[in-house]
Amino acid sequence: MSAPAGAAWPDTPYLSAILSSRRASSAVTITIVSTRSIAVTGMTCDHCASAVRAEISKLPGVTDVDVDVAAGTVRITGDPLPGDAPLRAAIDEAGYEFAG
Protein backbone atom coordinates (compact mmCIF):
# COMPACT_ATOMS: atom_id res chain seq x y z
CA MET A 1 0.00 0.00 0.00
CA SER A 2 1.31 3.44 -0.78
CA ALA A 3 -0.11 6.90 -0.46
CA PRO A 4 1.44 10.29 -1.10
CA ALA A 5 3.10 11.72 2.00
CA GLY A 6 0.59 13.58 4.08
CA ALA A 7 -2.43 12.07 2.34
CA ALA A 8 -5.24 11.09 4.66
CA TRP A 9 -6.71 7.60 4.39
CA PRO A 10 -10.37 7.67 3.42
CA ASP A 11 -12.43 7.43 6.55
CA THR A 12 -14.51 4.33 5.89
CA PRO A 13 -15.65 1.55 8.26
CA TYR A 14 -14.17 -1.01 5.88
CA LEU A 15 -10.69 0.45 6.01
CA SER A 16 -10.87 0.94 9.77
CA ALA A 17 -11.70 -2.75 10.14
CA ILE A 18 -8.67 -3.74 8.07
CA LEU A 19 -6.36 -1.45 9.98
CA SER A 20 -7.56 -2.63 13.38
CA SER A 21 -7.27 -6.30 12.40
CA ARG A 22 -3.67 -5.63 11.33
CA ARG A 23 -2.98 -4.07 14.68
CA ALA A 24 -4.53 -7.04 16.46
CA SER A 25 -2.26 -9.49 14.64
CA SER A 26 0.92 -7.53 15.23
CA ALA A 27 2.01 -9.92 18.00
CA VAL A 28 3.47 -12.32 15.43
CA THR A 29 6.96 -13.40 16.42
CA ILE A 30 9.64 -12.22 14.04
CA THR A 31 13.07 -13.78 14.30
CA ILE A 32 15.85 -11.50 13.20
CA VAL A 33 19.04 -13.38 12.48
CA SER A 34 22.03 -11.13 12.23
CA THR A 35 25.50 -11.55 10.90
CA ARG A 36 28.73 -9.84 11.84
CA SER A 37 32.25 -10.14 10.50
CA ILE A 38 35.29 -9.87 12.72
CA ALA A 39 39.03 -10.02 12.17
CA VAL A 40 41.07 -12.80 13.76
CA THR A 41 44.85 -12.82 13.63
CA GLY A 42 47.13 -15.86 13.74
CA MET A 43 45.11 -18.32 11.65
CA THR A 44 47.20 -20.05 8.98
CA CYS A 45 45.43 -23.25 7.96
CA ASP A 46 42.23 -25.30 8.10
CA HIS A 47 43.18 -26.54 11.55
CA CYS A 48 43.17 -22.99 12.84
CA ALA A 49 39.83 -22.39 11.14
CA SER A 50 38.32 -25.48 12.79
CA ALA A 51 39.57 -24.49 16.22
CA VAL A 52 38.13 -20.98 15.92
CA ARG A 53 34.87 -22.27 14.45
CA ALA A 54 34.49 -24.82 17.26
CA GLU A 55 35.00 -22.28 20.05
CA ILE A 56 32.75 -19.59 18.56
CA SER A 57 30.05 -22.17 17.81
CA LYS A 58 29.77 -22.86 21.57
CA LEU A 59 28.63 -19.30 22.29
CA PRO A 60 24.90 -18.90 23.01
CA GLY A 61 22.80 -17.89 20.02
CA VAL A 62 25.42 -18.66 17.39
CA THR A 63 23.96 -20.61 14.48
CA ASP A 64 26.72 -20.38 11.89
CA VAL A 65 30.44 -19.61 11.79
CA ASP A 66 32.23 -19.07 8.51
CA VAL A 67 36.01 -18.76 8.70
CA ASP A 68 38.12 -17.28 5.92
CA VAL A 69 41.72 -18.11 6.82
CA ALA A 70 43.27 -16.23 3.88
CA ALA A 71 41.41 -13.03 4.70
CA GLY A 72 41.74 -13.50 8.47
CA THR A 73 38.03 -12.95 8.95
CA VAL A 74 35.22 -14.83 10.64
CA ARG A 75 31.58 -14.28 9.79
CA ILE A 76 29.21 -15.16 12.60
CA THR A 77 25.49 -15.63 12.27
CA GLY A 78 23.36 -15.69 15.38
CA ASP A 79 20.30 -14.63 17.29
CA PRO A 80 21.47 -12.94 19.35
CA LEU A 81 24.99 -12.33 18.08
CA PRO A 82 27.72 -12.60 20.71
CA GLY A 83 29.38 -9.37 21.78
CA ASP A 84 33.08 -8.54 21.63
CA ALA A 85 33.93 -9.87 25.09
CA PRO A 86 32.64 -13.45 24.62
CA LEU A 87 34.10 -13.54 21.11
CA ARG A 88 37.48 -12.42 22.39
CA ALA A 89 37.39 -15.12 25.07
CA ALA A 90 36.33 -17.84 22.60
CA ILE A 91 39.03 -16.93 20.10
CA ASP A 92 41.62 -16.68 22.86
CA GLU A 93 40.56 -20.15 24.01
CA ALA A 94 41.20 -21.45 20.49
CA GLY A 95 44.68 -19.90 20.60
CA TYR A 96 44.19 -16.90 18.32
CA GLU A 97 43.56 -13.21 18.68
CA PHE A 98 40.35 -11.26 18.21
CA ALA A 99 41.27 -8.16 16.24
CA GLY A 100 37.96 -6.36 16.01
Residues that bind Cu ion (CB under 5 A): 44-45, 47-48
Within 10 angstroms of residue 38's Cβ, the number of other Cβ atoms is 18
Q: In this complex, which beta carbon is closest to Cu ion, that of residue 8 or of residue 45?
A: 45
Closest approach of Cβ 94 to Cu ion, in Å?
Answer: 10
Q: In this complex, which beta carbon is closest to Cu ion, that of residue 42 or of residue 80?
A: 42
Closest approach of Cβ 92 to Cu ion, in Å?
Answer: 16
Between CA 17 and CA 14 the distance in angstroms is 5
Name, in order, each residue with C-beta under 8 angstroms of 35's C-beta and a sequence gap of 6 or more.
Answer: 75, 76, 77, 81
Closest approach of Cβ 56 to Cu ion, in Å?
Answer: 16
Closest approach of Cβ 18 to Cu ion, in Å?
Answer: 59
Sheet of strand 97-98, all strands in order from the earlier edge strand to the far edge: 62-68, 73-78, 34-41, 97-98
Between CA 64 and CA 44 the distance in angstroms is 21
Q: In this complex, which beta carbon is closest to Cu ion, that of residue 47 or of residue 58?
A: 47
Q: In this complex, which beta carbon is closest to Cu ion, that of residue 65 or of residue 78?
A: 65
